[in-house]
Structure 1
Amino acid sequence: MSRPRIVIVGAGFAGYRTARSLSRLTRQQADIVLLNPTDYFLYVPLLPQVAAGVLEPRRVSVSLSGTLPRVRLVLGEADGIDPEERTVRYTGPEGGRGTLRYDRLVLAAGSVNKLLPVPGVAEHAHGFRGLPEALYLRDHVTRQVELAAAGDDPEESRARCTFVVVGAGYTGTEVAAHGQMYTDSQVRRRPLPNGLRPRWTLLDVADRVLPEMDERLSRTAERVLRRRGVDVRTGTSVREATHGGVVLSDGTSLATRTLVWCVGVRPDPLVEALGLPLERGRLLVDTYLRVPGCEALFACGDVAAVPDLARPGRYTPMTAQHAWRQGAVCARNVAASLGLGPWRPYHHRDLGFVVDLGGTRGAADPFGIPLPGAAAGAVARGYHLAAMPGGNRVRVAADWLLDAVLPRQAVQLGLVRSWSVPLESASPELARVPGGTAARGNQGNQTHQKNQKNQTHQRNETNPEDPEDPEDP
């Protein structure tokens, strides 16, 4: 008899963990296929450090073929799923179409940027969901400071040195914290004229930064940001964005050439086309991560509304911590559905959260114990090293060591152009262009390919129950 085929859509935290665990559990008794637009798993929590020049891009990119030797990688974006025929349609990186048949399907397609109906944001803001966005932001920020140093107009130079980040969750806070350190290091070696200093502004409609964390840690993080010179404005957001700046909800205006959108995420729209029950855009599953009524279909990560056994009546939030653990449980239950081992419900114990604020500073509450300052910074980096798959942790540690003893290199690489990383549209008609729904994985590491297909359309709110980003560890 032929071996059963297990297809996994997405190689984010949930999909990658599912594939890795299944290859061990099935012991080559099943054909495991991983469908993903890129050949790497992206460790998103360290993306702000890539944007700030602390880490090189390959440090946070884990090779799929190198770390999943018994898993067959198919490069492509999922276009549609037929549960009755048990097929997945996809588009390859060079435009070719293909179909994968499956005996078991795991949906781990992750999430995409979440847009709010704010005029000008889609045209003038950039998201921060993947490697292309991080590389673009590093080049863009470097260029703005260099242009400000060479400019003759003080007002224009001031606008170029003003960087606005919307969303004070984990991602936005880290982007602002690391960004301020990066630009400060630039002007330290080459001071700007007239005593001009780069200024990062962090906005959020919440009444404090990091609203998901303990209030004491929020105060600690805000204190670190303000001491570095970050302009923190809570209870405030963007009302309108233009090429020359932003108008805030309080009526004030900021002249800027940089708007980073870190407001939140939404589940990949791939699941909407299935016509199955959804919970706020997420596919409803049971405690075993099965989709009711579809015995061959499982889902985990950001696309799955998983019952939270620790909080009856609620669903697990969209975080990397949950996605990583759900991937392991999903693998066990997929194997169990094939007669390999027992079933296991998804139950978790909160490990807490960590935020790296750059240098030796951080905020963390491991197992509910609040840690500020240097202790939190050490815990945050220790956690990331432990969680990083493959051999990347040695390279990450080496980059951290070099950053501590050597000045950062502030150069433009020119690898990613602005038009190739537009902010994704929240409108269904744009989200569903042919081939436009990517098998991104939980961490959103494949936005670049979908953005390239959506750029033609692009040119002519924070979820109160879920944490703002899925990137927090």
Structure 2
Amino acid sequence: MSRSRIVIVGAGFAGYQAARTLSRTLPRTLRGAVEIVLVNPNDYFLYLPLLPEVASGVLEPRRVSVSLAGTLPGVRLVLGEVGEVDFDRRRLRYVDPEGRSGELGYDRLLLTVGSVNKLLPIPGVAEHAHGFRGMPEALYLRDHINRQLALAAACDDPEEAAARRTFVVVGAGYTGTEVAAHGQMFTDSLARQHSRGARRSEADGAHADGTPRWMLLDLAPRVLPELDKRLSDTAHRVLRKRGVDVRTQMSVKEATSEGVLLSDGEFIPTRSLIWCVGVRPDPLVKDLGLETQQGRLMVDEYLRVPGRPDVMACGDAAAVPDLTRPGEITPMTAQHAVRQGKVAGRNLAASLGYGASRPYKHHDLGFMVDLGGVQAAANPLRVPLSGPLANLVTRGYHLASMPGNRIRVLADWALDAVLPRQAAQLGLVRSWSVPLESSSPEVARTPVP
């Protein structure tokens, strides 16, 4: 009997869960007749919600990078980035990390290619801003923050020093709010280390005492507009208390190498523009020639692509009908991606004759935002929480959701509670290798020979 091959493209939340569920669902009698192949540019699953803690020096990079080969037994990993799919021939083409082209045939295909940074037609942003969708960007930001504070400490020009100590985050959703919250605590810690050997003056730094300045901008009327207003107010209050300059109904009109021009006409001198305005489906989606909705692949409630019975899609790249809100599609969140991946894995098994297909339906269980230290805002099961209790719930949720590295994450959290942050620039990721306009934010760009 010929062996069936199921190919899953992408190892984000949806793809990882689909591969894991499928490998666990298939009975032993079928495993020899079915090959599960996972195609991904990297050999790890990235736990994105904890990425701000990597950028701020709380967690080491490998803590949020879970080995695919080590946690997905029975799944064959192919390192590569898919660039083309021939649906009629049931074949896809990919490029591996060394630039070599390859082809894979499939009997069933699951597309979970995820999302990339959302771009807006604002002059200078693509050239001077950096996003926050992958490990390379987080590592670049951590080095960049270290570098700017070190340069500011050694700078004789007060205005230049102030600009280097100023960090502008655009987008006050989950990612932007967490980046600003953790970033502010990180830079304050680094600034204290630099100040031990430096003489302060009234004119030194963004504030009178030379401490760093963080700004958080959003066009929405409040931070975290997706959350309950009480949680939004909590986050706003915590950020304000720490000194973060939160400006709602505000955005960037132009970006330059010297700073950013705000929509109200004010110019903010800075060397750091962090772009967290949202995400858009992976560019591969528009090149597939399939029907889309809001830029995402059209699928039915069973995650099947219309007219292609052998193709499924889920996660950020798919417009999955939201059965809890008729007429709408599910938002692009990790919570939905994880659960869609599990349904996709079961439905793939059902397509092989094991089990029954079921539609995707999920009610949000609440959301949480880590604000650094012991602060957080959360509403598990619609119960609003804030402060240390919310932080405990948030960290507990992350540990339960991670498929590996839990003890290592706990160890880093414990060390961060008693030791100062490490001010060390590794210099492994350069600015040009993490452009904002990238179809693969999970991969650092390399020089063209």
C-alpha distance in structure 1 between counterparts of 2:121 and 2:408, whole Å: 41
Is residue 264 from structure 1 mapped to residue 268 from structure 2 by the alignment? Answer: no
Q: Where does residue 103 of structure 2 map in the other structure?
A: 99
Q: Give the CA deviation at 1:447.
A: 4.0
Q: Give the CA deviation at 1:188.
A: 2.0
Is residue 396 from structure 1 mapped to residue 396 from structure 2 by the alignment? Answer: no
The gaps in structure 1 that reach 5 residues or longer are 426-436, 439-443, 457-473
Is residue 385 from structure 1 mapped to residue 389 from structure 2 by the alignment? Answer: no
Q: Aligned runs of 1:85-124 on 2, under 5 Å?
A: 85-124=89-128
Q: Aligned runs of 1:67-82 on 2, under 5 Å?
A: 67-82=71-86
Q: Aligned runs of 1:416-435 on 2, under 5 Å?
A: 416-424=429-437
Q: Give the CA deviation at 1:173.
A: 0.3
Which letter does structure 2 place at the counterpart of 1:166? V
Q: Where does residue 244 of structure 1 map in the other structure?
A: 258
Instruction: Report the identity percentage.
Output: 69
Is residue 5 from structure 1 mapped to residue 19 from structure 2 by the alignment? Answer: no
Q: Is the CA contact (8 Å cut-off) linking 1:291 and 1:297 kept in structure 2? A: yes
Secondary structure of 2:52 counterpart: helix
Q: Where does residue 355 of structure 1 map in the other structure?
A: 369
Q: Aligned runs of 1:15-414 on 2, under 5 Å?
A: 15-27=15-27, 28=31, 29-191=33-195, 193-194=200-201, 195-390=209-404, 392-414=405-427
200-209 or 22-31, which moves further after superposition?
22-31
Give the structure-1-normalised TM-score. 0.90
C-alpha distance in structure 1 between counterparts of 2:89 and 2:73, whole Å: 29
C-alpha distance in structure 1 between counterparts of 2:339 and 2:358, whole Å: 12
Q: Is the CA contact (8 Å cut-off) linking 1:210 and 1:218 kept in structure 2? A: yes
Q: Is the CA contact (8 Å cut-off) linking 2:38 and 2:76 kept in structure 1? A: yes
Q: Give the CA deviation at 1:452.
A: 4.0
Q: Is the CA contact (8 Å cut-off) linking 1:8 and 1:108 kept in structure 2? A: yes
Secondary structure of 1:132 counterpart: helix
Q: Give the CA deviation at 1:87.
A: 0.6
Which letter does structure 2 place at the counterpart of 1:398? A
Q: Give the CA deviation at 1:269.
A: 1.6
Higher RCO, Cα 8 Å, sep 6+? 1
Q: Where does residue 204 of structure 2 map in the other structure?
A: none
C-alpha distance in structure 2 between counterparts of 1:127 and 1:189, whole Å: 27
Q: Give the CA deviation at 1:31.
A: 0.1
RMSD: 1.3
Q: Is the CA contact (8 Å cut-off) linking 2:150 and 2:194 kept in structure 1? A: no
Q: Is the CA contact (8 Å cut-off) linking 1:165 and 1:203 kept in structure 2? A: yes
Give the structure-2-normalised TM-score. 0.95
C-alpha distance in structure 2 between counterparts of 1:313 and 1:43, whole Å: 30
Q: Give the CA deviation at 1:349.
A: 2.0
C-alpha distance in structure 1 between counterparts of 2:3 and 2:379, whole Å: 45
Q: Give the CA deviation at 1:183.
A: 0.7
Structure 1 outlier segments of 4+, above 4 Å: none
368-377 or 153-162, which moves further after superposition?
368-377
Which letter does structure 2 place at the counterpart of 1:9? V
Q: Give the CA deviation at 1:69.
A: 1.8
Q: Is the CA contact (8 Å cut-off) linking 1:11 and 1:35 kept in structure 2? A: yes
Secondary structure of 1:190 counterpart: helix
Q: Is the CA contact (8 Å cut-off) linking 2:41 and 2:443 kept in structure 1? A: no
